Each structure stands twice: as C-alpha cells, then as structure tokens.
C-alpha cells in the first residue's frame, strides 16, 4: 500500500494522509445518515413483512431471518484497497487508465459502489432471487428517486454465493472546502442465504486477509488440499449445493401436498 500511496502522489498529485481518512469518515457518515432517511429505504423496511408473506403463500415457508438489517460503512483501509485493485491489480490497461477511468479522489465516492452496504439474509436459496425481484420493483417506483438498479448474482470460484444489488441515489456530500456537492452514489444491498451467512461469519477474517494479498500463489488452491483456501472454498460450494437440494426437496413436498 505504501507504493500505491506513492503512485497516487507521483501520478495524480494526491497525498493520502489522516486528513484524507477524516474526510472519508465525514462523507461516508453523511451518506449513511441520508440513506436511512430516503423514501426507498423506508418503503423497503415497511414492506419486509409483506414480502415475507408473499413468499410464505408461494412456498409455505418464511423468507427472511431478520427484519432489522444493519447498515455498514466500508472502513477507509478497505476502501483504499479497493481503489488499488481497480486502478492497478485489475486494470487490464495498466499502466494506462482502466477502461472505465481512474478511481481518484475527485470521483471515487461515485466509482466505489459498496462504501455503504447492507445485508439481507433469506432462509432458502430461491429467496435470493425472490427478494432481488422485490428490490427491482421497488427501485422502479418513480417516487423513490432511484437513479439506477443493478444486480450481480455472484458465484465465485472461492465458493462465495450472494446477490449484490446496487441502488443509486443522489447524495449531497461535504466538499473539502466545506461547501457541498450532489453526486450519484451506489448503495450495495447484499442478499445471501442463512447457511452462506454462517460461513461468511466464520471465514470473514480469512476473506479479508486474502483480499489484501496481491501475489499470485504458485499452486492453484484446487490442487493444494493443505491450503486454507481448499477447505474454505469447497465448503462454500458444498453449502450452495446443499441449499439447492433443500429447495428441491421442499418443492417436491409441496407438490405431494
């Protein structure tokens, strides 16, 4: 990260300092504060029981684990690491700018789409798609001022399965000179299953360390049963398979009824 900070200074005349982090904390705190006041968020929270009961009527089972999702702010170090991955590690045009442009202080709050995020945990695998559908419907409502809605059904080699949805709104954030500006910022809403959430919590520390590593390993993890990745990653895949089987059995039971 020291080299990345030097690169930012040398190539883009930007110094990462305590002031940068303080400003980040101020902006992201404001985004979170304003997001919970949006019509979109309030409508979503008030609709959760309705979504649950629609799913209940459809499948005979409850949709959600909890009706009180927490909203999290990405830590500054993780945020900076993400800009590093975007600008350098995953930049196919390196040393030229990435195809969608550099993530720099003048635009990185708009470019990084998971600075503020929340998580919904559903009981069953098909609940993920169901809930994504509800979010899409909600984002389409004109009175809720969503500028855009995107969804990515993540199915990663590392055994990570979740839907990542992004709703963007215009937020007014403070500028460095204490004036304000309005920019489009995406809020990430993750949806995952109960079992995947258990795995995430168990392996969270491991995933975080792995994201910090940027040196490729010599042996592929799939051929290295002694590696940490082997157990963790396959556990994620196995659980996803098991969750698929659970839905299949549940559907067969419904048909028998």
Partner 1 sequence: MKEEQKKYLNSVGIKTNALIGRITDLLELCKKIVGEEPEDILIGEYQDEDGIRQYEYIDLYTKSYLFGIKDFIKRNFFLITPSNRRIHRITFKAENYDFTEATTTSKLTVGASTSSGDLNEMKATGSNCDHLLKIIYKYYKPFLEY
- Is there binding between residue 244 and partner 1 (CB under 8 A)? no
Residue 97 interacting with partner 1 (CB under 8 A): no
DSSP conformation class of 98: P
Q: Exactly one of 43, 53, 129, 217 binds partner 1 (CB under 8 A); which one?
A: 53
56 touches partner 1 (CB under 8 A): yes
Binding residue (CB under 8 A) for partner 1 from 24, 40, 41, 52:
52
Q: Is 219 in the site for partner 1 (CB under 8 A)?
A: no
Structural tokens at position 157: 């080699």
Site for partner 1 in 62-81 (CB under 8 A): 62
The neighbouring-strand residues paired with 168 are: 148, 186
Cβ neighbours of 132 (radius 10 Å): 19
The length of the chain in residues reads 257
- Please tell me the distance from the alpha carbon of residue 18 to that of residue 33, in angstroms, as a whole number: 22
Which range binds partner 1 by CB under 8 A, 50-58, 143-151, 156-164, 200-208? 50-58
Which residues are CB-contacts of 185 (< 8 A; sequence separation ≥ 6)? 31, 109, 110, 115, 116, 168, 169, 170, 171, 173
- Angstrom distances, CA of residue 34 to CA of 48, 171, 247: 20, 7, 38
256 binds partner 1 (CB under 8 A): no
Q: Considering only 31-39, 49-57, 185-193, 213-221, which stretch makes contact with partner 1 by CB under 8 A?
A: 49-57
Contact flag: residue 137 with partner 1 (CB under 8 A): no
* Binding of partner 1 by 254 (CB under 8 A): yes
Which of 49, 156, 208, 212 contacts partner 1 by CB under 8 A? 49
Indicate whether 123 belongs to the interface with partner 1 (CB under 8 A).
Answer: no
Indicate which single residue of 6, 33, 60, 94 sits in contact with partner 1 (rule: CB under 8 A). Answer: 60
Geometric angle at alpha carbon 108, from 146 and 119, rounded to 5°: 50
Q: How far is the CB of 51 from partner 1 (least distance, A)?
A: 9
Using the minimum distance from each CB to partner 1, give the nearer residue, 67 or 153.
67
User: Dihedral, CA atoms, 202, 203, 209, 215, nearest 10 degrees?
Assistant: 170
What are the C-alpha distances in Å from 10 to residues 5, 6, 16, 159?
9, 6, 12, 38
Report, in Å, the least distance between residue 130 CB and partner 1: 13
Minimum CB separation of residue 50 from partner 1 in Å reads 5
* Region binding partner 1 by CB under 8 A among candidate stretches 20-28, 46-54, 181-189, 238-246: 46-54
> What is the enclosing helix (H) or strand (E) of 71?
strand 71-73
Q: How far is CA 157 from the centre of its chain?
A: 17
Residues near partner 1 (CB under 8 A) are 49-50, 52-54, 56-57, 60, 62, 254, 257
């Amino acid at each position: 990260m020291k080299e990345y900070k030097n690169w930012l200074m040398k190539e883009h005349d930007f110094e990462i300092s305590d002031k940068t982090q303080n400003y980040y904390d101020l902006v992201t705190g404001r985004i979170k504060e304003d997001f919970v006041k949006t019509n979109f968020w309030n409508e979503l929270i008030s609709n959760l029981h309705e979504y649950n009961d629609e799913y209940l009527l459809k499948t005979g089972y409850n949709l959600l684990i909890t009706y009180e999702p927490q909203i999290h702010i990405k830590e500054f170090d993780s945020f900076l690491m993400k800009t590093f991955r975007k600008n350098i590690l995953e930049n196919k045009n390196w040393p030229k700018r990435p195809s969608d442009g550099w993530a720099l202080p003048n635009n990185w709050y708009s470019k990084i789409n998971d600075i503020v995020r929340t998580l919904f945990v559903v009981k069953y695998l098909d609940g993920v798609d169901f809930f994504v559908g509800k979010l899409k419907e909600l984002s389409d409502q004109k009175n809720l001022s969503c500028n855009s809605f995107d969804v990515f059904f993540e199915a990663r080699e590392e055994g990570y399965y979740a839907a990542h949805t992004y709703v963007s709104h215009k937020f007014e954030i403070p500028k460095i000179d204490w004036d304000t500006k309005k920019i489009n910022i995406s809020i990430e809403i993750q949806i995952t299953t109960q079992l995947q959430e258990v795995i995430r919590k168990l392996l969270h520390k491991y995933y975080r360390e792995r994201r910090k590593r940027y040196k490729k390993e010599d042996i592929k993890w799939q051929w290295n049963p002694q590696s940490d990745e082997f157990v963790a990653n396959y556990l994620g895949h196995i659980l996803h398979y098991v969750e698929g089987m659970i839905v299949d059995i549940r559907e067969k039971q419904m048909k028998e009824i």
